[in-house]
Amino acid sequence: MRSRLSLLALTTTLALAGCSGGASTPEADSKDTQSSSAAAAESDPQSGAKTESSLDDPADADPADFKDEAADIVGDFSDDELAGSLIIGTWEGSDTQTPVDMVKQNHLGGVIVMGYNLSENPTKDQVTDLTKKISGARTKGQPVSIGVDQEGGPVSRLSSAALPFPPLMGLAATDDSDLITDATTVQGQNLTDLGFTIDFAPDSDVTVGPKDKAINVRSGGTDHEDVAGVVADAVEGYRSGGVASSAKHFPGHGRLGVDSHESLPVSEKSIEEMEDSDLLPFKSAVKAGVPMVMMGHIGLPDAKTTPATLNEKAYSALRETLDYDGVITTDALNMKAVPQNLNGGETVKALAAGADIALMPPDSGAAQKAIVKAMGDGTLEKKDVVEKSERVVATQLATAEAQKSVQAGDSDAKEPKKVLTEVADKSLTVLKGECSFKGTDSISIVGGSDKEKAALKEAAEAEDLTVGSGGTSVSLSPSTSAEVAVGTAAPWTMRSTAAKSAVTAYDSNPYALRAVAKWLKGDLEASGQLPAEYDGSDKAPDCG
């Protein structure tokens, strides 16, 4: 795995201190990104004005430098505007005017774009048209936050409109700190070009493997120190790419067997007991300068029926144990782990507990009105709401400045096609068999979904492999008959395969499958390092 020396040094320092891409192809990505960057350099994605940044590097943008400006902006807010500034709303359907009206009418601080807000195969132009409309909806100096869940792999809301990235476990498998940062820099720049200001990533949970139904391959692995290093690398990249990242889901969702989308998972460990384990990735994210941390919907031993998002002790632990002074957002408040039908009450409870941003309340308008009412009756102290708003606006201003720097060409982002190819090649992990395949000129694809089989066929033919009924048999499922089994998800999904050789690419994007094809042809020696330990992982050879 990753360099133990650097990770131990990071851990010591910290102790002393306290859903996949669509029709994208490698060839199209290269051309599209070049034209995108050229066009983006002409204008600020938030305002359409010519970019002009005072920064030498997007990563230099610090919310602390914008505190006075934020205070001036927030000082002019009415109570309605103040309340709305703490909400990132959501909407149903793909109508592009709805989010604009929501921001204007309820003075929202921003919105999040989900997959259901886009067409089945959205184009880059469709997405940028949407984000441009939304960004112009807010007044009085507060930039509009436009967020997205674009982790990579299974959590990729933008589908074909964005570059295809693997999940964090795929990045971790490269065992290359610089490459992880390069990859998230490219991803951040891609999102900046598309008009987004927040990526709710990286997932900073430590998975326990097969029993983890919610996080799974989204995690950087099963080792706390290794995941801490991967998370820090990712945060650094997002900073350089211009988007505000959000480490999630504090205090750690990876060991829980219940999906908080469906009901409330309860941790057997207290936050204090997690300090040297699940909290390590969050500590490393804070040390790396993460501007946002997402509170998870997780019950704790002393509050089993209350999600951490509504638990004051959880927020206090984040602030005090991690010495964190950045923005804290809730996880989506419309999830089933949170009490529903409260008419904005869930938002007031979250803010009273310590949240700065209420993410995706069931009804944004009701949430805004509930905040105003709570300020009036003393449930929320207005001075506390002002402080939260100033923290949020300062982060928005810093992000806007970072994005100007990216658009002006100051980002350290590498050529996307090269980075994505290197990530795919270095992450390919042998689970069974030899690191170098014997090599073949022809394959038959005998297992897997029709969509994945078609994608592997396209990738194989691009590498000059013949695909038909003969040759080496390859299955995209844990087949009992194929010579080679290829996984496109968490490595443990291939535990039952009887194939002589098995690899995982962690994802089914075109770059990942091209790496598989190169390995099958004998042109690539798989060097991916398995980021997870689980029953059966000892069968994997050391291909480092």
The sign one gets for the Cα dihedral 465, 19, 29, 451 is: positive
Confidence of residue 387 (pLDDT cuts 50, 70, 90): very high
For residue range 262-285, list pLDDT tens digits in order. Answer: 888 899 999 999 999 999 999 999
For 511, phi then psi, to 5°, come to: -65, -45
Pair of tokens at residue 434: 């030899």
Confidence of residue 513 (pLDDT cuts 50, 70, 90): very high
> Do 377 and 510 sit in the same domain of this protein?
no
The verdict on residue 517 lying in a domain is yes
Tell me which residue of 470, 465, 471, 472 sits closest to 517, measured CA to CA. Answer: 465
| Total structural domains within the chain | 2
Number of helices (H) and strands (E) in the chain: give both, helices first: 17, 16
> Do 403 and 433 sit in the same domain of this protein?
no
pLDDT at 6 exceeding the cut of 60: no
CATH number (domain holding residue 270)? 3.20.20.300
The verdict on residue 506 lying in a domain is yes
Separation of alpha carbons 46 and 192, rounded Å: 10
Separation of alpha carbons 102 and 146, rounded Å: 13
**Mean pLDDT, to the nearest integer, of 459-480?**
94
**Mean pLDDT, to the nearest integer, of 327-336?**
97
Confidence of residue 411 (pLDDT cuts 50, 70, 90): low
> Do 401 and 432 sit in the same domain of this protein?
no
> Do 149 and 222 sit in the same domain of this protein?
yes
> Do 396 and 493 sit in the same domain of this protein?
no
> Do 388 and 448 sit in the same domain of this protein?
no
In the chain, the amino acid numbered 25 is T
> Do 494 and 358 sit in the same domain of this protein?
no
> Do 454 and 525 sit in the same domain of this protein?
yes
- Considering the chain, what is the average pLDDT of its residues? 91
> Do 208 and 329 sit in the same domain of this protein?
yes
Pair of tokens at residue 248: 């999630």
For residue range 360-386, list pLDDT tens digits in order. Answer: 999 999 999 999 999 999 999 999 999
Which pLDDT value is given to residue 258?
77
Task: Identify the three-state secondary structure at position 36.
Answer: helix
**What radius of gyration, in Å, describes the C-alpha atoms of the chain?**
23
> Do 391 and 479 sit in the same domain of this protein?
no
**Mean pLDDT, to the nearest integer, of 174-187?**
98
The verdict on residue 36 lying in a domain is no
> Do 124 and 233 sit in the same domain of this protein?
yes
Burial classification of residue 450, based on how many CB atoms lie within 10 Å of its CB (0-12 exposed, 13-18 middle, 19 or more buried): exposed
**Mean pLDDT, to the nearest integer, of 485-505?**
96
The verdict on residue 41 lying in a domain is no
The verdict on residue 32 lying in a domain is no
Which pLDDT value is given to residue 32?
52
The verdict on residue 63 lying in a domain is no
- Sheet with 198-199, strands from edge to edge, namely 327-330, 292-295, 244-250, 198-199, 145-148, 110-113, 87-89, 358-359
For residue range 137-163, list pLDDT tens digits in order. Answer: 977 899 999 999 999 999 999 999 999
For residue range 80-139, list pLDDT tens digits in order. Answer: 999 999 999 999 999 999 999 999 999 999 999 999 999 999 999 999 999 999 999 977
Confidence of residue 47 (pLDDT cuts 50, 70, 90): very low
**To which residue do tokens 């360099």 refer?**
3
What interhelical angle do 510-521 and 450-462 show, nearest 10?
Answer: 60
Q: Is the model more confident about 172 or about 17?
A: 172
pLDDT at 432 exceeding the cut of 60: yes
Report yes or no: 117 and 100 within 8 Å, Cβ to Cβ: no
**To which residue do tokens 């990876």 refer?**
254
225: left (phi over 0), alpha (psi -120 to 50) or beta: alpha
Report yes or no: 100 and 137 within 8 Å, Cβ to Cβ: yes
The verdict on residue 183 lying in a domain is yes
Confidence of residue 213 (pLDDT cuts 50, 70, 90): confident
Domain range for 450: 428-539
Percent residues over pLDDT 90 in the chain: 82
Report yes or no: 142 and 82 within 8 Å, Cβ to Cβ: no
Tell me which residue of 242, 134, 235, 245 sits closest to 192, measured CA to CA. Answer: 242
> Do 164 and 265 sit in the same domain of this protein?
yes
Separation of alpha carbons 365 and 296, rounded Å: 23
Which pLDDT value is given to residue 247?
99
Confidence of residue 24 (pLDDT cuts 50, 70, 90): low
Burial classification of residue 305, based on how many CB atoms lie within 10 Å of its CB (0-12 exposed, 13-18 middle, 19 or more buried): exposed
Confidence of residue 42 (pLDDT cuts 50, 70, 90): very low
Q: Which of 377, 407, 437 is the last residue of a domain?
A: 407
> Using CA atoms in the order 81, 82, 88, 93, what is the torsion angle rounded to 10 degrees?
-20
Which pLDDT value is given to residue 479?
74
The verdict on residue 180 lying in a domain is yes
Report yes or no: 33 and 174 within 8 Å, Cβ to Cβ: no
pLDDT at 3 exceeding the cut of 80: no
Which pLDDT value is given to residue 29?
66
- Sheet with 472-475, strands from edge to edge, namely 429-432, 501-504, 484-487, 472-475, 442-447, 466-467
Which pLDDT value is given to residue 199?
99
Confidence of residue 481 (pLDDT cuts 50, 70, 90): confident
